[in-house]
């Protein structure tokens, strides 16, 4: 993979602006799915933390003499599925193996078939167009920093 100094030479020869824009939009869409995946993992951790805290609350309620209320919470909520038959880890596993894996495969297919496997061609060209050459903080590559 070529990275070039400006990024413009990432574009494979003969690839049109429209194709670069389309591949960039697929990449943008996949980045959204990556964010969704992160939020699913965050939800997984928060639900797990809440379930453990609720278990602690049940113990505290029992110790404070509220055995009946503690039993109701323990029976109805502690360890409960978030979706029918599923804890959050199962939701994540299904998402990762299905929708996420398919989306990732499609994004790679577009990158491989249209951009010779070169990622972020659209963004590289946007950087080249928007930066101010010679200005600190606008270097084309890390190698130019401090030159």
Task: Tell me whether residue 121 is in a domain.
Answer: yes
- In this prediction, residue 44 carries a pLDDT of 98
The total number of structural domains that make up the chain: 1
- In this prediction, residue 96 carries a pLDDT of 98
What domain range is 93 assigned to? Answer: 23-130
Mean pLDDT across the chain, nearest whole number?
Answer: 92
Q: Check whether 35 has a pLDDT greater than 60.
A: yes
48 Cβ neighbours under 8 A, 6+ residues apart: 88
Task: Tell me whether residue 31 is in a domain.
Answer: yes
Q: 65-100 burial, b for 16+ CB within 10 Å, e for fewer?
A: eeeeebeebbeeeeeeeeeeeebbeebbeebeeeeb
For residue 120, give both structure tokens: 């972020």
Indicate the pTM of the whole model.
0.83
């Amino acid at each position: 993979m070529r990275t070039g100094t400006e990024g413009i030479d990432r574009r494979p020869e003969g690839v049109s602006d429209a194709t670069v824009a389309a591949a960039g939009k697929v990449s943008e869409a996949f980045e959204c799915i990556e964010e969704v995946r992160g939020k699913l993992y965050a939800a997984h951790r928060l639900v797990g933390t809440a379930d453990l805290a609720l278990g602690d609350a049940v113990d505290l309620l029992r110790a404070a003499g509220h055995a009946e209320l503690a039993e109701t919470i323990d029976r109805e909520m502690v360890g409960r599925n978030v979706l029918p038959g599923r804890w959050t880890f199962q939701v994540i596993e299904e998402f990762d193996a299905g929708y996420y894996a398919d989306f990732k495969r499609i994004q790679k297919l577009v990158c491989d078939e249209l951009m010779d496997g070169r990622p972020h061609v659209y963004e590289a060209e946007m950087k080249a167009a928007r930066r101010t050459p010679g200005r600190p903080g606008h270097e084309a590559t890390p190698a130019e920093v401090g030159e």
